Amino acid sequence: MTDSPPAGSPPTDAPSPEAAQAGRPYAPGLEGVIAGETSLSFVDGANGRLLYRGYRIGDLVEQGTYPAVANLLWSGDWDPGHRLATAPVPPGVLQILRALPTSTKPMDALRTAVSAWGANQDLPWPATAGQARALTAFSPSALAAFSRLRAGDEPIDPDPSLDLVEGFLYQLTGTKPDAATARALDAYFIVGAEHGFNASTFTARVITSTRSDIASAVGGAIGTMKGPLHGGAPSEVVDQLSQVGSADRAEAWVREALAKGERLMGFGHRVYRAYDPRAAALRTVAEGMTNKPEWLQLAIEVEDVALRVLAEKHPDRPLKTNVEFYAAPVLMGVGLTPDLFPATFSLARHAGWTAHVLEQAGDNRLIRPDVNYIGPAERDLPR
């Protein structure tokens, strides 16, 4: 705290706040502001490219698994055989999840679980890769446990023989998923793992920069992702696909929606001007499934029509498929209900959040930007 001037102080000769702040650049929403450096991912919107530590997202989806990608982000090493199973929910955390109302939103339950997990751990500064692994392995079990508890079912213990995404589906449903289902959700986890300085990742870095712990950073990131501007889009794609209903209605539906001035969910992107590489990777996985869930089949057929009609209506503006278009049918296709979509996205983003926590802690400077004061000029208190 700085000392206050004595009461009744005379006016200063300082310039007005406006003059004192003149010429300082301001970008609402920090758009275009470089707020840090990272070696974790490169989001290249103009060229439709996403690299994790230099590796193309499509290659990582084709040849990797979520644990291998998480390990790549944490350590910088590519080990395609790297394994990570889900971890048990500590009894104290389970007790808290049992006490939540069944109406609790899954994102609130996950944020609460991460906070309670942190309260049960010793998490000294600086965060370690061991802490990142432990938290990333804990959260899928916690979300699965909450999802079962609210339905009146008992949580299921992790099966250490299953990799993280398979284990999550097993603990959620009580059934071990078939290979194609696990692979589709694993691909979704890989494409959702990391995406530069998005709002939740930036939150995690700000919290870490105060030398706070990894559970606080990830808890704050979950709170940020809960906002519909960040984690909410895939369920709208589901709504539109269900309105289309069947592939033969796609063309008429798309033309009618555009004629009414509606936007097609899952198309266009603020950063990507080319085809979103995450959508391309998910589509490839979807097409490779022998038994495509009907949601995926419908999405593939609707996409072709939508791209053709959008190109016809907006010949000068590239409007291509974005990641949400394929995220939605993949999540529906593996049996998740739409209210679990944002929390499942959060599970996937744990790898990126925690890798950013490690990167921030490794070369830390308190993140403390400046603000333009736009209130009243200096004045005397009324007598």
The answer, yes or no, to whether the previous bond of 28 is cis (omega within 30 of 0) is no
Segment interacting with ligand ACO (CB under 6 A) among 56-64, 146-154, 157-165, 263-271: 263-271
**Residue pair 21/373 in contact by the 8 Å Cβ criterion:** yes
Q: Among residues 183 and 349, whose Cβ is nearest to ligand ACO?
A: 349
Q: Taking CA 320 as the corner, what is the angle to CA 27 and CA 348, rounded to the nearest 5 degrees?
A: 70
Give the residue, chosen from 245, 252, 314, 378, that forms a contact with ligand ACO under the rule CB under 6 A. Answer: 314
- Assess whether 294 carries a catalytic annotation: no
Segment interacting with ligand ACO (CB under 6 A) among 19-27, 138-146, 264-272, 342-350: 264-272
In order, the DSSP letters of 292-346 are: --HHHHHHHHHHHHHHHHHHHH-TTS---B-HHHHHHHHHHHTT--GGGHHHHHH
**Residue pair 67/193 in contact by the 8 Å Cβ criterion:** no
Please give the torsion angle defined by the CA atoms of residues 283, 284, 286 and 290, in that order, rounded to the nearest 10 degrees.
160
Segment interacting with ligand ACO (CB under 6 A) among 69-77, 128-136, 151-159, 262-270: 262-270
Please tell me the distance from the alpha carbon of residue 181 to that of residue 26, in angstroms, as a whole number: 47
Q: Is 280 in the site for ligand ACO (CB under 6 A)?
A: no
Q: Is 269 in the site for ligand ACO (CB under 6 A)?
A: yes
Give the residue, chosen from 267, 341, 345, 353, that forms a contact with ligand ACO under the rule CB under 6 A. Answer: 267
Q: Which residues contact 370 (CB under 8 A, 6 or more apart)?
A: 24
Give the CA distances from residue 280 to residues 14, 292, 323, 327, 338, in Å, rounded to whole numbers and listed in that order: 57, 16, 8, 11, 22
Q: Is 266 in the site for ligand ACO (CB under 6 A)?
A: yes
- Assess whether 230 carries a catalytic annotation: no
Q: Is 383 in the site for ligand ACO (CB under 6 A)?
A: no
Q: Among residues 73 and 264, whose Cβ is nearest to ligand ACO?
A: 264
Is residue 137 packed enough to be buried (19+ CB in 10 Å), middle (13-18) or exposed (0-12)?
A: buried
Segment interacting with ligand ACO (CB under 6 A) among 25-33, 48-56, 206-214, 317-325: 317-325
Q: Is 233 in the site for ligand ACO (CB under 6 A)?
A: yes
Give the residue, chosen from 47, 317, 339, 377, that forms a contact with ligand ACO under the rule CB under 6 A. Answer: 317
CB of 199 to ligand ACO, least distance (A): 11
Q: Which one is catalytic: 166, 194, 324, 359? A: 324
CB of 233 to ligand ACO, least distance (A): 4
Q: Where are the beta strands (DSSP E) in 53-102?
A: 55-56
Q: Is 281 in the site for ligand ACO (CB under 6 A)?
A: no
Positions annotated as catalytic residues are 269, 324
In the complex, the residues that contact ligand ACO under the rule CB under 6 A are 233, 263-270, 314, 317, 319, 322-324
